Amino acid sequence: MAAASVSRPALVAAALFAMANLAVGDTFPFSRYAMYADLEGYDSSALIVFRADGKPAQPEAFRRFSGEPLFHVTSPQGVRCSMGWRVFESRRWMETHAADPGEEPGPVKFQVGYVMTKLTAEGPTVSDEFIPLADGHAWPTR
């Protein structure tokens, strides 16, 4: 059985990747950052919540949005939030489905906010207090 050989282009690509990794450092796709952050000292976090007329909802269930603050939603300042990806994806959805300027508000009051979760010895708990970040109006897809 013949020994497997590695092609010259593969060796060159591996060497270039290694040099780029050393030069660039902790930048995707060369990041050496751990997949999950260290949880030491971590006991609470914000959980993003979307509400339509006061009830839980998903932005993707709506076809258009009005209300300038909705388009500037970010993770809560000074509060840990492990769902930043959801905040940014939702903001992108709302921005790309924005109502025309001057258009009448949609029939549904839409809010973005968060509730706090806390890790205890008994397990995670979720606060009942909704902390609003932004609100506006939306049109349902149906």
Q: Are residues 99 and 134 in the same domain?
A: yes
Residue 61 lies inside a defined structural domain of this protein:
yes
User: What integer pLDDT is reported at residue 48 of this predicted model?
Assistant: 87
What pLDDT, in 10s, does the model give residues 9-57? 988 988 888 888 777 766 656 555 554 455 556 678 888 899 999 999 9
Angstrom distances, CA of residue 115 to CA of 23, 34, 63, 75, 118? 41, 27, 25, 12, 10
Q: Are residues 32 and 101 in the same domain?
A: no
Q: Are residues 21 and 51 in the same domain?
A: no
Residue 107 lies inside a defined structural domain of this protein:
yes
Q: Are residues 48 and 86 in the same domain?
A: yes
pTM over 0.95: no
User: What integer pLDDT is reported at residue 101 of this predicted model?
Assistant: 87
Q: Are residues 97 and 80 in the same domain?
A: yes
User: What integer pLDDT is reported at residue 81 of this predicted model?
Assistant: 79
User: Identity (one letter) of the amino acid at 35?
Assistant: M
Domains contained in the chain, number: 2
Residue 27 lies inside a defined structural domain of this protein:
yes
Spatial CB neighbours of 119, under 8 Å, sequence gap ≥ 6: 42, 43, 44
Range of the domain at 20: 7-36
Q: Are residues 52 and 74 in the same domain?
A: yes
What pLDDT, in 10s, does the model give residues 91-108? 889 989 999 988 899 999
pLDDT averaged over every residue in the chain: 82
